[in-house]
């Protein structure tokens, strides 16, 4: 393993992206995401993702000079056309209008269209909760996951993330997971490290259960929680696909033409303002939410994101670690 400071990791990411032709703005926004992922020890969405940025560019499947366009779609809806660029800049462009509308209306939606997407959603959810808003985000990806009861890839790994702001400087309550048993990135990391995957992550192309990571990647991933994850995955296809006029995971994969680039689709993000829902009683009710978190942890349960926040503390002082092989690949690209 190679250990480096967060500053060195940031320089490495910027060097790779600049060298490969990404604009200054794209380089900054992409680096923010992958460094956040690495810092919080979300290895499937950290520095490893730079390899996808580079291969997506080489495949001609991303516009590295895209300038997102913000449209005031309706009183409660802001739409951002990412113009074929990565989603990060589009999210940044839409965030001020999303928060303004949420504060005005109590609830607002941000629909991002035509974006190339690979981000962990908690990065965006954190930005919204920092504004004191409750947040929900989801998006399709490429058709890699079989519906419960089926054996052929149809859904994306379709992440869903939720965030709740907390008082007194406490970090927000956030969960963020794929509706597949695990993110595809994690299966890719198992394949790179030659490790078997646990039972229940996927099936081979003949529909048989397998622990061979490469066979799952060629076959189909499985949903988490059987029919429950499958229904959530279908919902995400609908509300972050046709509802916002964008591609489903199957359509994203067809758009890819076998190039292996990052998915191309839309994203739906909702923001809710507790102060609009509750008026003067907001503080009292947010305090009741704190009682829920206390009751969870009192039983020995950990809150989602607690591992991430602990990793963040460690990384800020000790830096981050990546496998030698990834470090060498990134050095070569830089």
Ligand X SMILES: NC(=O)C1=CN([C@@H]2O[C@H](COP(=O)(O)OP(=O)(O)OC[C@H]3O[C@@H](n4cnc5c(N)ncnc54)[C@H](OP(=O)(O)O)[C@@H]3O)[C@@H](O)[C@H]2O)C=CC1
Q: What's phi and psi for 321, nearest 5 deg?
A: -125, 135
Q: Which is nearer to ligand X, 183 or 220 (CB)?
A: 183
Q: Least CB distance from residue 139 to ligand LZCNNONV, whole Å? A: 9
Are 48 and 82 within 8 A, CB to CB?
no
Residue 186 designated active-site = yes
Q: How far apart are CA 38 and CA 12, in angstroms?
A: 12
SS3 111: strand
How many other CB atoms sit within 10 Å of the CB of residue 51? Answer: 16
Q: Which is nearer to ligand X, 175 or 327 (CB)?
A: 175
Q: Least CB distance from residue 189 to ligand X, whole Å? A: 11
Half-sphere exposure at residue 246, Cβ-oriented, CA atoms within 13 angstroms: 30
Q: Least CB distance from residue 257 to ligand LZCNNONV, whole Å? A: 16
- The residues binding ligand LZCNNONV (CB under 6 A) are 44, 117-118, 141, 157, 178, 183-185, 262-263
- The residues binding ligand X (CB under 6 A) are 42, 44-45, 117-122, 139, 141, 157, 159, 161, 175-178, 182-183, 186, 302, 304-308
Q: Which does 262 bind (CB under 5 to 8 A by kind): ligand LZCNNONV, ligand X, none?
A: ligand LZCNNONV
Q: Considering 40, 81, 176, 186, which one is annotated as catalytic? A: 186
Q: How far apart are CA 88 and CA 261, in angstroms?
A: 16
* Strand partners for 115: 265
> Does an H or E element contain 15, and which?
helix 6-19
> Whole-angstrom distance between the N-terminal and C-terminal Cα of the chain?
19
Q: Least CB distance from residue 187 to ligand LZCNNONV, whole Å? A: 8
Which residue is listed with tokens 């959530």?
232
Q: Which does 177 bind (CB under 5 to 8 A by kind): ligand LZCNNONV, ligand X, none?
A: ligand X
Q: Which does 182 bind (CB under 5 to 8 A by kind): ligand X, ligand LZCNNONV, none?
A: ligand X
Residue 280 designated active-site = no
Q: How far apart are CA 26 and CA 46, in angstroms?
A: 16
CA distances from 89 to 30, 111, 135, 180, 270 (A): 8, 13, 19, 26, 18
Q: Least CB distance from residue 7 to ligand LZCNNONV, whole Å? A: 25
Q: Considering 40, 43, 44, 246, which one is annotated as catalytic? A: 44
Residue 45 designated active-site = yes
Enzyme catalytic residues? 44-45, 186
């Amino acid at each position: 393993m190679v250990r480096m400071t967060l500053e060195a990791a940031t320089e490495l990411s910027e060097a790779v992206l600049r060298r490969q032709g990404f604009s200054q703005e794209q380089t900054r926004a992409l680096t923010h995401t992958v460094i956040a992922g690495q810092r919080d020890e979300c290895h499937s969405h950290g520095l490893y993702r730079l390899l996808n940025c580079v291969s997506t560019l080489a495949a001609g499947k991303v516009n590295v000079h895209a300038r997102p366009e913000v449209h005031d779609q309706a009183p409660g809806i802001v739409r951002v056309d990412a113009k074929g660029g990565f989603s990060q800049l589009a999210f940044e462009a839409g965030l001020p209008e999303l928060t303004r509308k949420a504060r005005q209306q109590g609830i607002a939606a941000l629909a991002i269209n035509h974006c190339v997407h690979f981000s962990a959603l908690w990065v965006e959810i954190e930005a919204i909760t920092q504004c004191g808003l409750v947040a929900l985000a989801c998006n399709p990806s490429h058709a890699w996951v079989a519906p419960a009861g089926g054996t052929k890839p149809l859904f994306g790994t379709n992440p869903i993330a939720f965030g709740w702001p907390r008082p007194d400087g406490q970090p927000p309550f956030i969960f963020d997971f794929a509706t597949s048993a695990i993110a595809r990135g994690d299966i890719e990391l198992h394949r790179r490290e030659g490790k078997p995957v646990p039972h229940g992550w996927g099936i081979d192309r003949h529909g048989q259960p397998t622990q061979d990571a490469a066979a799952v990647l060629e076959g189909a991933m499985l949903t988490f929680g059987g029919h429950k994850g499958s229904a959530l995955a279908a919902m995400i296809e609908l509300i972050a696909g046709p509802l916002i006029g964008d591609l489903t995971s199957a359509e994203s994969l067809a758009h890819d033409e076998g190039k292996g680039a990052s998915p191309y689709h839309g994203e739906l993000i909702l923001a809710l303002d507790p102060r609009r829902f509750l008026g003067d009683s907001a503080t009292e009710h947010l305090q009741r939410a704190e009682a829920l978190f206390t009751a969870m942890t009192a039983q020995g349960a950990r809150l989602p994101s607690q591992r991430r926040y602990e990793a963040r503390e460690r990384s800020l002082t000790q830096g981050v670690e990546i496998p030698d092989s990834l470090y060498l690949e990134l050095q070569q690209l830089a």
